[in-house]
Structure 1
């Protein structure tokens, strides 16, 4: 079976990179830039972004991201574009802002430059956009023609974001190795369209090792507002290592269970990576993984403040019927649960969720 590995054409990470966006866009020689930008980033850093493009002599349109990363919003933005002038799409903000920009670039057939302002997901480097319905329920994965052309991570900016967001990114990245490993065992077709590559599995393993080595210390540094070397390591793990690792290594039970949990209103306030962290523990329960692995994952989650119990997800009083519905939603025919190396039923998932919750409560 063929192997396919996706990656951005350029991944740039360093301090003060936001001030160089205009120069990087000018290097692309693509014409006017159209940026979808997070409202908070626009209010605080909008002038710096405009100055960067003015210094490069490049026209820029800024559109504030509002609402949900939905197909409807993507269609609306595409309809607003003047394709005779706009030559590159920028996404500046968090995961949903970036996924919106990626989807817009896909439908407009324009290059994409992504500027994550938090390291809360591995979305920036992938050729996948996660779409949701307007009420926040998971809709679908949109497969794009290619990875983003350029990804720029400004560690100075990212270090100023709330520590919870960096921790959520670690929760998302935590699943990468275990899901890639499961896909490697099953021979599953990954999001890149082929079998998982050795390179992707190696990056996924490096991601996991980096989290365990530097995660707790990086969180402490971010709480102090320090863009330390340890923070830089975790930014790279959350964004690049996890992004390549999940896409070309494959998704499996952890993200399938996350998708199922999105139907529960009680945990809509919980961040993507926080749900994925708990779902990673549930995947290990499904696999009957060695206690050493389970203990390492549970211990890491506790150190990072990531949920390991249903109560921490806001699901302490959720009914068995609702949990069963979430378990069923995680086993849809088109979802990543099919990538597990053994058949998984909704009953298996329900039992794994309860086992993960019990294990998490025992560790408290």
Structure 2
């Protein structure tokens, strides 16, 4: 099978880069349409407008209505067409960014993604998650290419709640271990082939960066400051993890995350918080060396990621509840089947119980 790596056309990261956003967007299009919710528009709108004004470019800023749904995508696509927009920019969180990706795909114009948080590795991916207007999951929209550009302004990101950056670390924490599992099993990745050496090295670097700078970054953003450690973690959460997961593959950690979504007790958790415990459970499934498991537990506890079922919100971890998680994780088509050995719901239940005991030690 061929090896494939995919990535955004350009990745830009730095302190206050939004003050120069027009310089980066200009090569992609002359009539940009931007979407953002009210909060994000108030946060970055002035800086962005001033940048385009200095470049003599008109910017249309349209309010995002809160849900990445078919009606919202079609509404913004119609605005693009009537305005003659030749590039779309998404500012904010995941649903805004996914909407911008989808509109760019259907309108056949370049896409610029500008996250205002670093809570997941989704911004760089060729994927939009579509919901119903009521907020229920509808479908995955697999896109033929990654965004043309991703911009990370660490001035904005460092002032977001620290828990969001930590959640991004939890999501990124799985990248190396899931890549390692896929490399052993030889399964096809989301990029459409097997992992390249470059993608696997990025996944490994992601993990090393988290261990080296995760705690320092959390402490910095708790004081609304940006340090070198914050810069490194933003890159790890977004670019290293983004390329690593998409071009090296997902495995048990994300499938177990999906299993946790079936329990109401876990609905308060962010994506990365659930993935972190899924990563610990994956290591138990693999019977990884205790030293490796303890390193992961120590990291999670240092930055504030859950390492027990109680910390996940499951105060009474009954066999029935764990069975719900396990069966969800092992559903047909789930990424847990990318592991290099067969995985059953019974095995996942046993691993969840053991991971909880290890985390509580």
TM class, shorter-chain normalised? over 0.9
The question of whether the paired residues in 1 share the 8 Å contact of 2:259 and 2:327 is answered with yes
In the alignment, structure 1 residue 37 sits paired with structure 2 residue 41:
no
Partner residue, 1:26: 26
How far apart are 1:152 and its partner, in Å? 0.9
Distance (Å, rounded) in 2 between the aligned partners of 1:358 and 1:133: 39
CA 142–338 in structure 1, closer or farther in 2 if over 3 Å, else same: farther
Partner residue, 1:235: 234
Cα RMSD of the aligned pairs, angstroms, is 1.9
The question of whether the paired residues in 1 share the 8 Å contact of 2:301 and 2:307 is answered with yes
How far apart are 1:348 and its partner, in Å? 1.9
The question of whether the paired residues in 1 share the 8 Å contact of 2:66 and 2:95 is answered with no
Alignment deviations for residues 110-154 of structure 1 (CA, whole Å, 9 cap, x no partner): 211011111111111111223455666655543211111011111
Partner residue, 2:165: 166
For 1:27, what is the secondary structure of its paired residue? coil
Distance (Å, rounded) in 2 between the aligned partners of 1:204 and 1:7: 13
How far apart are 1:338 and its partner, in Å? 1.9
How far apart are 1:75 and its partner, in Å? 4.1
After TM superposition, list the pairs within 5 Å mapping 1:157-236 onto structure 2.
Answer: 157-236=156-235
The question of whether the paired residues in 2 share the 8 Å contact of 1:38 and 1:94 is answered with no
Q: Aligned pair count?
A: 361
The question of whether the paired residues in 2 share the 8 Å contact of 1:137 and 1:263 is answered with no
The question of whether the paired residues in 2 share the 8 Å contact of 1:12 and 1:152 is answered with yes
For 1:146, what is the secondary structure of its paired residue? coil
Distance (Å, rounded) in 1 between the aligned partners of 2:332 and 2:196: 24
Partner residue, 1:8: 8
CA 15–184 in structure 1, closer or farther in 2 if over 3 Å, else same: same
Distance (Å, rounded) in 2 between the aligned partners of 1:99 and 1:39: 17
Larger mean Cα displacement after TM superposition, 69-78 or 208-217:
69-78
Larger mean Cα displacement after TM superposition, 74-83 or 270-279:
74-83
Distance (Å, rounded) in 2 between the aligned partners of 1:354 and 1:186: 25
Distance (Å, rounded) in 2 between the aligned partners of 1:324 and 1:65: 39
Partner residue, 2:106: 107
In the alignment, structure 1 residue 341 sits paired with structure 2 residue 340:
yes
TM-score, length-scaled by structure 2: 0.94
CA 105–320 in structure 1, closer or farther in 2 if over 3 Å, else same: farther
Larger mean Cα displacement after TM superposition, 224-233 or 45-54:
45-54
Distance (Å, rounded) in 2 between the aligned partners of 1:240 and 1:3: 19
TM-score, length-scaled by structure 1: 0.93
CA 132–323 in structure 1, closer or farther in 2 if over 3 Å, else same: farther
- Residue segments in structure 2 that go unaligned for 5+ positions in a row: none
- Residue segments in structure 1 that go unaligned for 5+ positions in a row: none
The question of whether the paired residues in 2 share the 8 Å contact of 1:95 and 1:120 is answered with no
Partner residue, 1:352: 351
